[in-house]
């Protein structure tokens, strides 16, 4: 069957021709990018092995660095050997004492793994939102997820569910509150966006998310004023943290990580098709609204799980996908898997900075990502048109 490209007169400026898209779902055709200029050779749109290896290498470096560095510094080589001992059938002499082994396996390793999972989820969601909305400023908190989680956690703490205890290691109360609040905010955004009728544009959901965020943030401020004794506890959560007591938080986030990653990565080719516009995507056999809402739901689920475990950590969903796009290519077949790898490594290494920059004190990781993300956000604003071409 021959696929005829849609009329270029209806195609937005700067978007690729529909006939050149890689991986059109209904027809399964793997295409290539057109040459950049006279005499240039076509580059395949798929994920290159060198970038995949670079992403895996970044994860391994972040893993070893995160476990090695801290109030008690451990030799990276010994740490790497001890991590290999966790694999079945491997028995290496790491040279670490029993106390140091306990620090590696029970204290630092769960925190680093949690950072890898949360960073991967936030970066994957950011890349997915940017593709769905065709908006370079799209972020995991675009649909009011952060405001919904913040309001729910504030309510749980202020009304007694979190009184007298730490946020870290709570059985289910705080993570469940954040998760329910996040999904509730997404539903509110959907309902508000649906008020525009069937012909609403993706920008309608963006504006709906802004409105929902403002409304929920006002509710959170009111609760804090009425329960001032809870401000310090809520404030520490809002700034973001990866402190974890054992493997509980990792086990909490892992199922949502797997579900989100599977759904988004299986549908990543559809984001390339959506980039040409709904009319062209429909002519190629795609159902734009159904694909859009499925991807939004999956990305929001992953974001809610990340927020429930780590608090509000911003800018990861902007920094990582844009860096991958600039370095490795603009196809979402490349952006999404690499964003997962580099996003996890980025947040784990950022956590190392947060733990060591002002030792023995610890800087909230949300502060560190904001310091890095602010200048990057300005860069995205100045180069948005070039980034999305």
User: Tens of pLDDT along 345-356?
Assistant: 999 999 999 988
In the structure encoding, which two tokens stand for residue 327, read together?
């370095």
pLDDT (0 to 100) of residue 3: 43
pLDDT (0 to 100) of residue 78: 92
Which residues partner with 44 through β-bridges? 32
Name residues whose C-beta falls within 8 Å of residue 134's C-beta, 6 or more positions apart in sequence.
Answer: 202, 274, 275, 388
Which is nearest to 343 in space by CA: 335, 333, 354, 331? 335
In the structure encoding, which two tokens stand for residue 278, read together?
């709904």
Q: How many CB atoms lie within 10 A of CB 57?
A: 12
Confidence category of residue 32, pLDDT binned at 50, 70, 90: very low
In the structure encoding, which two tokens stand for residue 306, read together?
């990340």
Answer yes or no: is pLDDT of 245 > 80: no
pLDDT (0 to 100) of residue 113: 95
Task: Give the mean pLDDT of 375-383.
Answer: 77
Residue-wise pLDDT tens digits, 43-76? 445 678 899 999 999 999 999 999 999 888 899 9
388 vs 166: CA distance, rounded Å: 43
Name residues whose C-beta falls within 8 Å of residue 113's C-beta, 6 or more positions apart in sequence.
Answer: 63, 250
Answer yes or no: is pLDDT of 107 > 80: yes
Q: Where is mean pLDDT largest: 40-49, 191-200, 313-322, 368-377?
A: 313-322
Answer yes or no: is pLDDT of 161 > 60: no
232 vs 224: CA distance, rounded Å: 10
Is the CA virtual torsion 183, 185, 188, 193 positive or negative?
A: negative
In the chain the domains, ranked by start, together with CATH numbers, are 49-382 (1.10.3470.10)
Residue-wise pLDDT tens digits, 248-261? 889 888 999 999 99
Count of alpha carbons within 13 Å of 198, Cβ hemisphere only?
A: 1
152 vs 157: CA distance, rounded Å: 9
Residue 328 or 200, more confident: 328
**pTM (2 d.p.):** 0.81
| Percentage with pLDDT > 70 across the chain | 80
Torsion from C-alpha of 216, 217, 218, 224, nearest 10 degrees: 110
Answer yes or no: is pLDDT of 382 > 90: no
Which DSSP string do the residues of 85-98 spell out, in sequence order? TTSTT--------H
Confidence category of residue 202, pLDDT binned at 50, 70, 90: low
| Percentage with pLDDT > 90 across the chain | 28
Tell whether omega for the bond before 360 is within 30 degrees of 0, i.e. cis. Answer: yes
368 vs 273: CA distance, rounded Å: 35
226 vs 378: CA distance, rounded Å: 36
SS3 32: strand
Give the 3-state secondary structure percentages of the chain, helix then strand then coil, rounded to 5: 65, 0, 30
Distance set, CA 97 to CA 66, 82, 368 (Å): 19, 11, 33
SS3 328: helix
Task: Sort 312 into a burial class: Cβ within 10 Å, 0-12 / 13-18 / 19+.
Answer: buried
Determine contact, residues 131/271, Cβ cutoff 8 Å.
Answer: yes
> Does an H or E element contain 204, and which?
helix 202-226
pLDDT (0 to 100) of residue 22: 42
Determine contact, residues 277/148, Cβ cutoff 8 Å.
Answer: no
SS3 44: strand
Which is nearest to 193 in space by CA: 202, 206, 205? 205
Residue-wise pLDDT tens digits, 139-157? 887 778 888 888 888 888 8
């Amino acid at each position: 069957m021959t696929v005829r490209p849609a009329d270029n007169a209806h195609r937005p400026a700067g978007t690729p021709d529909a006939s050149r898209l890689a991986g059109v779902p209904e027809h399964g055709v793997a295409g290539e990018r057109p040459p950049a200029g006279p005499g240039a050779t076509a580059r395949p749109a798929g994920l290159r092995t060198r970038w995949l290896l670079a992403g895996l290498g970044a994860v391994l470096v972040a893993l070893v660095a995160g476990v090695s560095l801290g109030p008690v510094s451990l030799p990276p080589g010994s740490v790497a050997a001890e991590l290999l001992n966790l694999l079945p059938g491997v028995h290496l002499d790491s040279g670490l004492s029993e106390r140091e082994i306990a620090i590696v396996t029970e204290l630092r390793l769960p925190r680093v793994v949690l950072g890898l999972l949360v960073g991967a989820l936030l970066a994957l969601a950011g890349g997915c939102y940017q593709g769905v909305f065709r908006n370079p400023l799209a972020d995991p908190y675009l649909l009011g997820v952060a405001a919904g989680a913040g309001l729910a956690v504030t309510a749980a703490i202020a009304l007694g569910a979190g009184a007298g205890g730490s946020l870290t290691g709570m059985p289910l109360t705080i993570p469940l509150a954040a998760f329910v609040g996040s999904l509730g905010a997404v539903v509110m955004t959907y309902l508000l966006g649906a008020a525009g009728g069937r012909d609403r544009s993706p920008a309608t959901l963006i504006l709906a998310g802004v409105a929902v965020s403002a409304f929920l943030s006002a509710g959170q401020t009111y609760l804090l004023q009425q329960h001032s004794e809870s401000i310090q506890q809520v404030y520490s959560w809002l700034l973001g943290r990866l402190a974890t007591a054992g493997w509980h938080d990792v086990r909490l986030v892992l199922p949502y990580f797997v579900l989100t990653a599977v759904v988004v990565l299986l549908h990543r080719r559809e984001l390339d098709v959506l980039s040409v516009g709904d009319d062209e995507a429909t002519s190629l056999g795609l159902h734009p609204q159904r694909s859009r809402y499925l991807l939004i739901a999956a990305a929001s689920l992953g974001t809610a799980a990340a927020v429930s475990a780590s608090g509000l950590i911003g800018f990861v969903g902007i920094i990582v996908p844009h860096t991958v796009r600039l370095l490795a290519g603009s196809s979402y077949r490349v952006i999404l898997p690499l964003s997962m790898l580099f996003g996890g490594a980025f947040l784990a290494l950022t956590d190392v900075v947060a733990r060591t920059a002002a030792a023995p004190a610890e800087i909230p990781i949300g502060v560190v990502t904001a310091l890095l993300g602010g200048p990057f956000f300005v860069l995205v604003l100045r180069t948005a048109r070039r980034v999305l071409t």
